[in-house]
Homo-oligomer: A and B are copies of this chain.
Amino acid sequence: MKSNFKTAFLFIMLLAMAIACSENKNQEKINGDKSGLTQIFPKGKKGSSETFTGNAYNTGLVDADSVFTTAVGNVYFQPGARSNWHSHPAGQILLITDGAGYHQIEGRPIEIIKKGDVIKCPPNVRHWHGASADVGLQQLYIVPNTEKGIVNWNEAVTDKVYQSAQ
C-alpha cells in the first residue's frame, strides 16, 4: 500500500509538472499562430486585402510628424501572409523580432529572413515581405524621412512567386 501511494503521488507530480511546463511554453504566444511567436506590441488591425495577401496585422507605434519624420510600427504576418509589392520614397528598415519569412527586392532572389535579422530596402525600389508558409513573422518597420512620403502600394505577390521561395 505504501508503495502504491508513492506511485500515485509521483504520477500526480508528473502530471502537474507536465501542465506547468506546457503553460510556460505558451506564455505570451499569439493566439491562432501554431508557430507560437512572442508578442511585444499589440497585434493591431488586420491589413486590407488591397495591400496584403492572407492575414497580416498592423500596429502603428510612431506616427510620422515634422519633428521625427519617422514612421514606426509592427506587422504580424500569420503563416502564408505577405505584403503586396510596394516601395518607399525614402526607403525602409525592417527588424525581425520573431519567426521566419521572406523578403524580396525586385529583380533579386528571395531572401529568407528570421528573428534577429535587420533588412534595409533602398528608396523607390519595389519589394515585398511576409511570413513563411509554416511559421509566422513579427517585424518592426522604420520608415525614415517621411517628408518624402511613406509608401506606394502596387500589385499582390502571386502564389507562383511566393511558392518559388519554398
- Write the residues of chain A forming the contact surface with B, with a CB cutoff of 8 angstroms: 3-4, 6-7, 10-11, 13-14, 17-18, 20-21, 24-25, 38, 40-42, 61-62, 67-70, 72, 90-91, 93, 95, 97-98, 115-116, 118, 120, 122-123, 140, 142, 144-145
Contact = CB atoms under 8 A, between A and B. Distances in A.
A contact patch SS: mixed
Contacts of A21: 17, 20-21, 24
Contact of A118 (B7, B38, B62, B145): B62
A74 to B, nearest CB: 9
Nearest to A27: B25
A64 to B, nearest CB: 10
A142 B145 contact: no
B70 A142 contact: yes
Contacts of A6: 7
A93 to B, nearest CB: 6
Contacts of A3: 3-4, 7
A67 B42 CA distance: 30
Contact of A7 (B7, B17, B62, B70): B7
13 contacts: A3-B3, A17-B18, A21-B24, A24-B25, A40-B97, A40-B116, A42-B116, A62-B93, A62-B120, A72-B93, A140-B140, A142-B142, A144-B145
Contact of A116 (B41, B95, B140): B41
